[in-house]
Amino acid sequence: MLGRTVWLEVAFGSGWALHALANSSLANKTPQGVVLANSGRSMDLRLENCEDRVDDFHLIAQGDRVVRVTGHHMAGLPGDYLCFDIDLHLASGRVLSAAGDNNGWCGAAFEYVCPPGHAVICPIFHDGGCHGLLVMETSLYEPWTPRTHRLLKAPPAARALVESCQVARTKGLPADVWCHVLGFLCGYDLLEPVLSRTFSLPETHLELYLSSMLAPESEDPESDDSEENSFGARSGDWYDAAADY
C-alpha cells in the first residue's frame, strides 16, 4: 500500500478523447490504471494487448508526485472515454498532459487538489469524466522527524538505516546527532533501493518500465488480482472538489 503513491512513470492514450491513463508505482509489479477498448470496455492490463491503446509515456523524477489534477469532462456523450483531456500537475511544477482531437467533445472543466498530508493513488473516472481523486494519508513527502514519521517505528527499519550508513559503523552516533542528520531527509528518501527490502518493496521494481509492463504473459489467467490494476481502488480516502482544501 505504501508504495502505491510513489509513481515512477505515467502513460496516456488518446484519440478523439482520452481513453487510457496508467501508471507504474514502487509497490506494484503490474500497472495501475484503466485502458478502454474502442467499445468503451475496460481492458485487463495483464492479459490483453494494451500497448496499442497507450502511446505517450512519461518518467517521473525521484520524489516527485501528483499534487493537482485538472481537465475537462466529455460533453454529454456516452462514457466510452475517460474524459476529454487531463493535466497532471506535479510538485516540481512539471505538467503531464493528454488531450483529445475532437474539440466539439470538450465539456465542463474539473479540478482536484491533493489535500496536505496526503498523496494521490489515482484519479477516479466514470461516465466520461474525472470525478475525484483517491488519496491516502502519508508522511513520505514531508521532512522526516522521529516523532511523526511512521516508517521507522519498526526496529528492523531503524537497524536498516544504521547498517546503510558507513559513519554509523564506527562506534555509533548519539540520538540527537541522528535526529539532526535525518532532519535533512524526507520520508521518500528512506525508500532508496538499499532500504526498500525493509518495507517489502523489491529493488527490481525500480527498474521496470511501463511499456514493458503492459500486457505481459500471464502464468495464471484464472487468478484475479484486479484490485491493484483498477482506478476503482478499494482502499484509501475519497476526495473530491467539495472538500475544503
The average pLDDT across 207-235 equals 49
- What pLDDT, on the 0 to 100 scale, is given for residue 225? 41
Do 176 and 225 fall into the same domain? Answer: no
At 219 the pLDDT is: 47
**Is residue 109 located within the same domain as residue 213?**
yes
Q: What pLDDT was estimated at residue 158? A: 60
pLDDT of residue 244: 37
Report if residue 132 sits inside a domain.
yes
pLDDT at 38: 86
Q: Three-state SS across the chain?
A: CHHHHCEEEEEEEECCCEEEEEEEECCCCCCEEEEECCCCCEECCCCCCHHHHCCEEEECCCCCCEEEEEEEEECCCCCCCCECEEEEEECCCCEEEEECCCHHHEEEEEEEECCCCEEEEEEEEECCEEEEEEEEECCCCCECCCCCCCCCCCHHHHHHHHHHCHHHHCCCCCHHHHHHHHCCCEHHHHHCHHHHHHHCCCHHHHHCCHHHHCCCCCCCCCCCCHHHHCCCCCCCEEECCCCCC
Identify which has the larger pLDDT, 215 or 27: 27
167 shares a domain with 89:
no
Residue 27 lies in a domain: yes
Count of domains for the chain:
2
Question: What pLDDT, on the 0 to 100 scale, is given for residue 16?
Answer: 93
Indicate whether 106 belongs to any domain.
yes
Q: What is the pLDDT of residues 126-173, one digit of tens each?
A: 999 999 999 998 888 887 766 666 555 556 666 666 666 655 555 566
Q: Is residue 204's pLDDT more than 70?
A: no
Confidence of residue 6 (pLDDT cuts 50, 70, 90): confident
Shared-domain flag, residues 131 and 233: yes
Q: Which residue has the higher pLDDT, 78 or 54?
A: 54
With bands split at pLDDT 50, 70 and 90, how would you rate the model's confidence at 3?
Answer: confident
Q: Is residue 115 part of a domain?
A: yes
* pLDDT at site 112: 97
pLDDT at site 229 = 36
In a domain, residue 38? The reply is: yes
* Domain coverage including residue 169: 155-185
User: What is the tens place of the pLDDT at every residue in 84-132?
Assistant: 999 999 999 999 999 999 999 999 999 999 998 899 999 999 999 999 9
Q: What pTM does this model have?
A: 0.72
- Residue 100's pLDDT is 94
